[in-house]
Amino acid sequence: MAVSWVRCLVVVLLISFPALAANQAPSAAGEQVIKVTAKRFEYSPSVITVKVNTPVVLEFTSLDRTHGFAVPDLKLEAEIKSGETTRVRFVPDKVGKFAFHCNIFCGSGHEDMSGEIVVTN
Amino acid sequence: MDFNSHNRREFLQLLGTGVGGVVFASGLGQLSGCATTRSKTQTAEDFYFVQLSDTHWGFKGPPNPEADMTLKNTVERVNALERQPDFIVFTGDLTHTTDDADVRRKRMAEFKQIVDGLKVKPVRFMAGEHDASLDAGKAYQEFFGELHYSFDHKGVHFVVIDNVSDPSASIGEAQLGWLRSDLQKLDAQQPIVVLTHRPLFGLYPQWDWTTKDGDAAIAVLQNYQNVTVFYGHIHQEHHFKTGQIEHHSAKSLIFPLPAPGSQPKRAPVPWDPANPNKGLGFRGIDAQAGRAYQLSEFSIGKA
């Protein structure tokens, strides 16, 4: 339950204050920090594996233009601007596979820009 | 709420068991049809219009090797309809996107030249993300005019909502303010038809089949008792209700997409050389005086 509360809080912050998705706070000890690049029309890595109940920081950089990052099933959303590092923090509280995609139209091939978060035990 | 679980069959069942309407399948080229639930007392005069969607002029690729002919064939099919419409609407993605601004304008000019062959006028346009998301609708407006607007036809108020010129699929507060103002003058029983590209509701956000602030538009529309939304984007028929508002998506005129969530990725349905127009089509909408809307789905070509 406590973990769910933490995740909910993170989600609310991301939705209400998008700038917090790109905050400059350094990663805290114990967090899983994963660097992800975005460019038309792919993420690298496109499969992101994390451990359940362990805080995660996704550090996004764009190699070309503004992209989006949306995981509807985890209620995560962020805007990835070129020239900035966008950090998305969350605590996965359930094991499974969760699709993500670019939700800011970026050209012919935008519909293929997607990936998957795999949450393991 | 699981929007995806409500497919067309369920919607038709809803019509049959709850709020009235008829289902029919007859006539030249008609594949199927359904009646919606608009009030029986609101439309002063019977009329008929045609919805075309997602033509993606300029697209080249295996999902439709005949892409350079599909739109032209459609114009011929519409011109040959036994019952000619009062007007025609295109619900977005007129052209396929390109990074090259000159090519974008060339495609729009070619598209416009082809659809000028439609016998019926007027033709009402709206943008899809392929037309407008990369340049905030600049080229689109040069060729087709305003991104959002309204008009009236025989007792029905039509509203065109732009949910694509912002690449993040937002309508935006400015346009929502315009929508409130545009509708404010109307009686709550006034029949309203909304034309837009993306679904206003969260049809399947996992494939980005939604509008970021679509709930805000729906909240405005919920103040009116006779609202029907016709949209495109998902390249297939889909029928759903949010409150009393009906939402009907149209087939594409370039390639079909799979049912929402039916496969991991929203990749086009593969081309079938034995049945090249399978899954493509357009819609006739009969706004009958004193009756419900009746939707007729038309195939194209020799399918």
Say if B205 is an interface residue toward chain A (CB within 8 Å). yes
Token duo for residue B165: 């010129």
Q: Mean pLDDT throughout B99-117?
A: 98
CA distance B47 to B288: 6
Q: How far is CA A50 from the centre of its chain?
A: 12
Output the pLDDT for position A10.
Answer: 42
Instruction: Determine whether the interchain pair B168/A104 forms a contact, defined as Cβ–Cβ distance below 8 Å.
Output: yes
**Predicted-complex ipTM score:** 0.84
Q: How many residues does chain A have?
A: 121
Check A111 against B168: CB less than 8 A apart.
no
- Domain coordinates of chain B in residue numbers? 3-298
Contact B168 A103 (CB under 8 A): yes
Q: What pLDDT was estimated at residue A104? A: 98
* Per-residue pLDDT tens over the stretch B234-291: 999 999 999 999 999 999 999 999 999 999 889 999 999 999 999 999 999 999 875 5
Q: What is the DSSP string of chain A?
A: -HHHHHHHHHHHHHHH-HHHHT--PPPPTT-EEEEEEEETTEEESSEEEEETTS-EEEEEEESSS-EEEEEGGGTEEEEE-BTSEEEEEE---S-EEEEEE--S--STTGGG-EEEEEEE-
What CA–CA distance (Å, rounded) separates B108 from B95? Answer: 6
Q: Quick check: B205 pLDDT over 50? A: yes
- Confidence grade of residue B45 (pLDDT, cut at 50, 70, 90): confident
Torsion angle of C-alpha atoms B127, B130, B132, B134, degrees rounded to 10: 170
Integer Cα distance of B85 and B112 in angstroms: 19
Which residue did the predictor score with more confidence, B5 or B58? B58
Partner-chain contact B205 A108, CB within 8 Å: no
Burial class (CB in 10 A: 0-12, 13-18, 19+), A84: middle
The structure tokens listed for A55 are: 């805080």
Rounded CA-CA distance A45/A34 in Å is 9
Kindly indicate the confidence band of residue B302, based on its pLDDT and cuts at 50, 70 and 90.
low
Predicted local confidence at residue A112, as pLDDT: 95
* Cα–Cα distance, B211 to B221 (Å, whole number): 15
Put simply, the chain B residues between 147 and 166 with a CB less than 8 A from any chain A CB are 164
pLDDT of residue B4: 40
Contacts of B267 in chain A (CB under 8 A): 112
Does the beta carbon of B168 lie under 8 angstroms from any beta carbon of chain A? Answer: yes
Structure tokens, A105: 């139209």
Q: Are B290 and B281 in contact, with CB atoms under 8 Å apart?
A: no
Nearest to B98 among A79, A108, A111 (CB): A108
- CB A105 to CB B206 under 8 A? no
Least CB-CB distance to A103: which of B164, B208, B267?
A: B208
Helices B173-184 + B214-221 axis angle, to 10: 10
Rounded to 10 degrees, the C-alpha dihedral A110/A112/A118/B1 comes to 80
All domains of chain A in start order, with CATH: 2-120 (2.60.40.420)
Q: Counting beta carbons within 10 angstroms of the beta carbon of residue A29, is it exposed (0 to 12), middle (13 to 18) or buried (19 or more)?
A: exposed
SS3 B283: strand
Average pLDDT over residues B92-96: 98
Q: Which residues of A touch B264 (CB under 8 A)?
A: 99
Min distance B62 CA to chain A CA atoms (Å): 14
CB B227 within 8 A of CB B245: yes
Do the Cβ atoms of A105 and B96 come within 8 Å? no
The CATH architecture that domain B3-298 belongs to is: 4-Layer Sandwich (3.60)
List the single residue in A with minimal CA-CA distance to B234.
A111
What's the rounded Cα separation, in Å, for the pair B289 and B303? 33
Average pLDDT, chain B: 87
Q: Is the pLDDT of residue B5 over 60?
A: no
User: Which of A66, A100, A108 would you mutate first to test chain B, the one with the most B CBs within 10 A?
Assistant: A108
Give Cβ neighbours of residue B40 (< 8 Å, ≥ 6 apart): B290, B291, B292
